[in-house]
Chain A
Amino acid sequence: MQSSLDGNAIAAALFDVFGTEMTAALGTCGGCGWSGALAEVAVYLLRPGVVARCPQCDQLLMVIVDRRGTACIELAGFASLEEPGDGS
């Protein structure tokens, strides 16, 4: 039975895309308003792509697709996403 991982499982992929460590970034779900670190999201790692969902309501938060060696990321499920250190 497949179960989800957490956001730590995609730490390297997030670093590749954002150029900084992102598991401590604070995200807010655009569906239910859940707010927490990217490390806490539910991740479905097996391909074709990587899917991250809200741990509270299952809304699709983020999709990472590798297209011919280029990582493409869709973040439309977040109401907001603050990089670590923002606002400090």
Chain B
Amino acid sequence: MVVSRFHSRGVPADPDRVPPGQYVTSGFPVLSAGPTPHTPLDTWTFDVRGAVRRPVAWTWQDFRALPRETVTVDIHCVTTWSKLDTTWAGVSLDTLLEAAGPSGGFVLAFSDGGYTTNLPLADLTGGRAWIVDEYEGQPLEPEHGGPARLLVPHLYFWKSAKWVRGLDVRDHDAPGFWESYGYHNYGDPWREQRYEGD
């Protein structure tokens, strides 16, 4: 019998690029808390709602017509793998949030399948977060969060919600799915904020 792994722990980590406790993988492990949704694009919308001046909902066609950016970033999963130089394309959250005019300071991102994650609004602005629908030049595959996922590469990757369908802007912070089970509320990989209390 041949047993193969889809990732390797053998790549030496550069401490300037790889946070403490992480190893570099060339694979792309699939992590999920439930079945993979398959939302038809003709019914897909992305909503920014809640504490905003103007709630906005983009259809897939509207979303694809927005100004797009291509970014190459390193991503870090709380399960200790990091993947360097990943290239994604999509829409900056600066563009999406500006259209809605948020008045609250916190966001709960929500996804098909019921997954949620919470973030400070400030971490989604300033060119640090995107809604991406392409990975390495190809449409984002469903098992990696397609048709579109949140991308917040400066936080642990559970904050980059797969199958994202919108942002609920709030005046007060409230934990999302993994945060409510003891994972860190903020999730900074450079401070190893894996669990509540880290």
- Decide whether A and B are members of one complex: yes
A binding-site residues for B, Cβ under 8 Å:
1-2, 4, 42, 44, 46-49, 51, 53, 58, 60, 63, 65, 67-68, 72, 74
What is the number of contacts between chain A and chain B, taking CB atoms within 8 Å? 49
Q: What is the number of residues of chain B that contact chain A, defined by CB distance less than 8 Å?
A: 20
User: In the complex, which residues 30-49 of chain B have their Cβ closer than 8 Å to any Cβ of chain A?
Assistant: 30-36
User: In the complex, which residues 62-98 of chain B have their Cβ closer than 8 Å to any Cβ of chain A?
Assistant: 78-79
Which among B36, B114, B158, B181 has the highest number of chain A CB atoms within 10 Å? B181
B36 A1 Cβ-Cβ under 8 A? yes
Q: Is the interface of B mostly helix, strand, loop or mixed?
A: loop
B34 A2 Cβ-Cβ under 8 A? no
B binding-site residues for A, Cβ under 8 Å:
29-36, 78-79, 114, 142-143, 158, 178, 181-183, 195-196
Taking A46-B29, A47-B78 as known contacts, 9 extra A-B pairs with beta carbons closer than 8 A to each other, sorted by chain A number, are: A1-B142, A42-B35, A44-B32, A46-B31, A48-B78, A48-B79, A53-B34, A60-B114, A65-B181
Hey, which chain B residues are within 8 Å of A74, CB to CB? 181
